[in-house]
Structure formats: structure tokens, C-alpha cells
Amino acid sequence: MEITKVGVLGCGLMGHGITQICAQGGWEVVVREVSQEKLDGGIGKISKQLARAVEKGKLEQADADGVLARIQPTLDCSDLGECDLVIEAITEDLELKLEMWKEVDAIAKQDAYFATNTSSLSVADQAAVTSRPERFLGLHFFNPAQVMPLLEVVRAEGTGDDAARLGFELGEKLGKTTVAARDNRGFIVNRLLVPYMLDAIRAHEQGVGSIEDIDTGMKAGASHPMGPLTLADFVGLDTLALIADVMHEAYAEERFAAPPTLTRLVEAGHYGRKSGQGFYDYSGERPEPVELDA
């Protein structure tokens, strides 16, 4: 099936990036949010990134204008009715996702494909509330979606061959490296990356090193682009805690349990970079590590 119009549900951290790369890939994109403020925030980030690319000479102004013109922001779910593929990137909450899929299933074209960008929830559980499990797959992008090369293509129990093929073709069109992942909690990358970040938090709790030293250690000692605590702030501590809970329940292994510091920070509304504070304070010129209670 030829894709001409893509729908994206959610214009937050992941949704705005997915919207941008799909529009850059040449597709018309309808992006839906639940509030004008969130919609404006996501579109504002896309405009800023396009302007920066033009400034750096990496993109012509006319092309940047073209990308923005292909994006239709909306608050109205019924605007997704003409989309050939709908990708969801809303909060990592199964109940919310199921409600949303029921709504979208009722208005989407009969032959439209659905994809979830879930980090950790079951693709099959989401497919099951729609009328099209064979057209439902997981497409897991990484943050920032505009930069990170990987796309995990997740085939659930009922995903058909056409939908799986569509996932790999879409990745290729977007210039991503694709891998096939099974529909287990965390797929490949988060199965390995989430316990690593949680373990770094535990290492800090146990006094192994300061926030900065743990991060510097993994950057300089293992050539990671970011240390694990910076990465946790970057992913979002609220998202990390939600993923940890899902994986802990699924695997019943202590290494997936949210450490007390993570729970405390999330309860205090410190979600990392997006809220201005997490393991670091982002209010100044450069991020400063926060003094955390023992």
C-alpha cells in the first residue's frame, strides 16, 4: 500500500520528532494533540530545529517551509480519517493508549495501518482493541527521533506480513537502521538500556560515585555520548519510572525495579530535562548536578 498521509498521535518529546522526520520524508502529516498549548509547544520545537538547520546551511529555506507546510496540527481526532498510517506517541499508559486506539479505529480508513511507538507496553494488547490486528505493529523510535539512527520494528502475534514489511520500508525511507524485535517488554534496546540507567541510579544511592563522576565515567570509559544519569534526564524520569514499573511487573527481576531516588524525583515533579530539573538543574548556562538527599 502506498503511504501518502501519516497521522501522529501526540506532539511531545517523541511525537514532534516523528512528525518532523515523516514530513521531511515527504509525507503529509496530521499531528494530533489534546491541548493547543502542547500542540504549539511541539510545532515550535520543529520550527526551531528547521530554522537551525537552515542557519547551518544544511537545509534550504524553501525546503524547511515545505516541511512545515506538510504538517497539519490538529486537536480533532477525526482529521486522521484520511491517513494511511497512524503512529501513536502518547503517554506510556496502557489504559490511555487503549482508549485512544478505540477512538481512532472508529474514524480511520478501513485499510489504514496502525503503529505504536510504545517503549515497553505490549503491542498485541493494543492491537486487540482495534478491528485490524493484522495491520498493527510496533515502530519504536529513539530520542531524538531526528538524530538517532535506530528504528525497532516490532511484530506482534497477529501482525501480518504486509504490516511488518511496511515497517521496514518506512524505516528505509526515513534513512533509519531497522532491527526486528519481538513483542516482549522493552523490545531489544530498552531491555538492556533501562536496567543500565536504573543501575546507575542505584550506584549513586550506594555512594559509588557522584552524579557527575558516574556520567563522566561512562562517557570517557565506555565512549557513550551521554552518561546514564544525563540520559535518564533526557529520556524523562517520569517515562523511565513508567517503563521500569512495566518491566518489573513483566520480568519480576529486581534490576527492573525503580530505585527510591527515581520515585522521589518523579513524585516531586522533577522529570529531568523537560521539567528543568532531575539529576541535573537545567536553569543555568550549563546543567548542574543536584544535591540529592541520601
The yes or no reply on residue 226 touching ligand 3HC (CB under 6 A) is yes
Alpha-carbon gap, residue 36 to 209, rounded angstroms: 43
**Which residues ranging from 76 to 115 are in contact with ligand 3HC (CB under 6 A)?**
none
Catalytic-labelled residue, pool 190, 204, 248, 270: 190
Give the interface size with ligand 3HC as a residue count (CB under 6 A): 17
Nearest approach in angstroms of CB 42 to ligand 3HC is 12
**Which residues ranging from 21 to 80 are in contact with ligand 3HC (CB under 6 A)?**
49, 52, 56, 58
The yes or no reply on residue 225 touching ligand 3HC (CB under 6 A) is yes
Catalytic-labelled residue, pool 117, 119, 120, 122: 119
- SS3 for the chain is CCCCEEEEECCCHHHHHHHHHHHHCCCEEEEECCCHHHHHHHHHHHHHHHHHHHHCCCCCHHHHHHHHHCEEEECCHHHHHHCCEEEECCCCCHHHHHHHHHHHHHHCCCCCEEEECCCCCCHHHHHCCCCCHHHEEEEEECCCCCCCCEEEEEECCCCCHHHHHHHHHHHHHCCCEEEEEECCCCCCHHHHHHHHHHHHHHHHHCCCCCHHHHHHHHHHHHCCCCCHHHHHHHHCHHHHHHHHHHHHHHHCCHHHCCCHHHHHHHHCCCCEHHHCECCEECCCCCCEECCCCC
Known active-site residue 204: no
The yes or no reply on residue 146 touching ligand 3HC (CB under 6 A) is yes
Catalytic-labelled residue, pool 16, 140, 248, 270: 140
Q: Which is nearer to ligand 3HC, 101 or 142 (CB)?
A: 142
Q: Which is nearer to ligand 3HC, 1 or 192 (CB)?
A: 192
- Judged on CB neighbours under 10 Å (0-12, 13-18, 19+), 42 is buried
Task: Give me the residue whose beta carbon is nearest to ligand 3HC.
Answer: 119
Nearest approach in angstroms of CB 171 to ligand 3HC is 15
Specify whether the CB–CB gap between 19 and 11 falls below 8 A.
Answer: yes
Site string for ligand 3HC, 232-251 (x = CB under 6 A): ---x----------------
Of the candidates 24, 178, 190, 277, which one interacts with ligand 3HC according to CB under 6 A? 190
Site string for ligand 3HC, 147-176 (x = CB under 6 A): xx----------------------------
The yes or no reply on residue 1 touching ligand 3HC (CB under 6 A) is no
Known active-site residue 140: yes
Catalytic-labelled residue, pool 152, 204, 248, 270: 152
Of the candidates 136, 142, 271, 279, which one interacts with ligand 3HC according to CB under 6 A? 142
In terms of Cα–Cα distance, which of 257, 259, 261, 266 is closest to 291? 261
Active site residues: 119, 140, 152, 190
Residue numbers of the site for ligand 3HC (CB under 6 A)? 49, 52, 56, 58, 119, 142-144, 146-148, 190, 193, 225-226, 231, 235
